[in-house]
């Protein structure tokens, strides 16, 4: 999986180095009423005069003695940033790039180690995103390694369709991933999915960094090779065992053998990356996030065309207010249906009926 590494677009021409500090500063000076915490923590500090200089140099703000904090948006920037804090509904989420995990060195004082702070260090690269809808504007915000890009686009008559297409292009900008060859769609009660949830097991065995660690522990190549093969065999067996348990849970809930087997088999395929997509709707009493369910985009690569591709999942109401989850091959239509269903459930939970 490849998520756009450079900013999706600059807020205005020339601001390609816009980062998290600049966004927070716009909130500090009162130009943003709220920060998009959906993108992650937004720590507020005194960033120094350099940040103000950047904002002025990029023509995002101008000095305005008539305002409380002495700044106002330029006309161009006001239009772009309006969708950051004033919107009707939004989808947002997190992409975890398992295969791009870097080496992390923990160098903390012993007194911090005893509290387990070393486990708070994240070694799986992550990219957060937010796509908002405000009247006739769709705003795309991408947060990648502190760099933030913001793009304001004219809203199409069907914004859910537009967002589904944007999300697919955002997660696979080079079009390198095809839909996973599932045999049709699978619909499962959310309660059953929750029951069947298992910890992530890589059926391929040790990853790139784990292999490096193992290599250092063996003096002879033959010993290393044997250890790797044993680890692969153990991981494959564990993934197969988990797959059987999930299949039994699914069939026990009333799902037929074919779709139950199709979903369970995914546990035997290497999972390159996972994306969680959440939704929030502004209801009569304020923002209401859909907390009990989310859409998902999963990238699998088992080494051949029969075990490689994208699976898209989304929540839907079925038989009253009960939530079910649909799993489908990751076509563009699946992305669009996922956004449409996710937004519909969020809108209903927010008490918006029209």
Percent of the chain scoring above 70 in pLDDT: 89
In a domain? residue 177: no
Residues 202 and 337 in one domain: yes
Residues 24 and 122 in one domain: yes
Give the pLDDT confidence score for residue 23 in this predicted structure: 96
Residues 109 and 218 in one domain: no
Q: Are 2 and 174 in contact (CB under 8 A)?
A: yes
* Alpha-helical regions (H) of 130-220: 159-171, 190-196, 208-216
Looking at the predicted structure, is the pLDDT value of residue 15 above 70?
no
Other Cβ atoms within 10 Å of 267 Cβ, number: 22
Residues 190 and 330 in one domain: yes
- Phi, psi at residue 298, to the nearest 5°? -120, 135
Q: Are 328 and 185 in contact (CB under 8 A)?
A: yes
Residues 131 and 197 in one domain: no
Q: What is the pLDDT of residues 220-269, one digit of tens each?
A: 889 888 888 988 889 889 989 999 999 999 999 888 898 899 999 999 99
Looking at the predicted structure, is the pLDDT value of residue 8 above 50?
no
Residues 55 and 122 in one domain: yes
Residues 266 and 326 in one domain: yes
Q: What is the mean pLDDT of residues 129-156?
A: 93
Q: How many domains does the chain have?
A: 2
Residues 71 and 143 in one domain: yes
Final residue before a domain boundary, out of 155, 171, 199: 155
Domain that holds residue 342: 186-349
In a domain? residue 165: no
In a domain? residue 92: yes
* Confidence category of residue 11, pLDDT binned at 50, 70, 90: very low
* Confidence category of residue 205, pLDDT binned at 50, 70, 90: confident
- The pTM assigned to this predicted structure is 0.87
Hey, which of 115-124, 199-208, 325-334, 341-350 has the most confident mean pLDDT? 325-334
Q: Which of 99-113, 240-254, 276-290 is predicted least confidently?
A: 99-113
How would you classify the pairing of strands 308-317 and 271-283? unpaired
Summary mean pLDDT of the chain: 87
């Amino acid at each position: 999986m490849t998520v756009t590494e450079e900013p999706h677009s600059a807020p205005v021409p020339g601001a390609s180095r816009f980062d998290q500090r600049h966004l927070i500063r716009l909130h500090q000076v009162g130009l943003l009423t709220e920060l998009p915490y959906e993108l992650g923590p937004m720590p507020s500090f005194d960033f120094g005069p350099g940040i103000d200089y950047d904002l002025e140099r990029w023509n995002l703000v101008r000095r305005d003695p008539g305002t409380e904090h002495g700044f106002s948006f330029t006309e161009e920037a006001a239009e772009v940033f309006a969708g950051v804090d004033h919107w009707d509904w939004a989808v947002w989420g997190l992409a975890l790039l398992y295969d791009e995990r870097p080496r992390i060195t923990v160098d903390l004082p012993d007194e911090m180690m005893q509290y387990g702070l070393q486990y708070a260090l994240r070694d799986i690269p992550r990219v957060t995103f937010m796509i908002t809808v405000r009247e006739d504007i769709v705003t795309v915000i991408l947060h990648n390694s502190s760099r933030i890009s913001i793009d304001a686009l004219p809203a199409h008559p069907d914004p859910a369709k537009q967002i589904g297409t944007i999300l697919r292009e955002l997660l696979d900008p080079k079009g390198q991933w095809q839909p996973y060859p599932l045999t049709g769609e699978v619909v499962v009660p959310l309660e059953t999915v929750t029951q069947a949830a298992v910890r992530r097991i890589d059926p391929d065995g040790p990853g790139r960094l784990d292999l490096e660690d193992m290599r250092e522990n063996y003096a002879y190549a033959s010993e290393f090779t044997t250890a790797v093969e044993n680890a692969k065999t153990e991981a494959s067996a564990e993934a197969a065992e988990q797959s059987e348990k999930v299949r039994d849970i699914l069939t026990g809930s009333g799902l037929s053998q074919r779709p139950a087997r199709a979903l369970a088999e995914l546990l035997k395929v290497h999972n390159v990356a996972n994306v969680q997509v959440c939704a929030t709707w502004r209801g009569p009493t304020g923002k209401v996030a859909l907390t009990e369910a989310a859409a998902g985009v999963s990238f699998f690569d088992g080494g051949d065309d029969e075990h490689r591709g994208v699976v898209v999942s989304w929540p839907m109401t079925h038989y009253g207010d009960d939530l079910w989850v649909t799993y489908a091959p990751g076509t563009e239509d699946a992305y669009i249906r996922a956004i449409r269903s996710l937004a519909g459930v969020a809108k209903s939970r927010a008490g918006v009926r029209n």
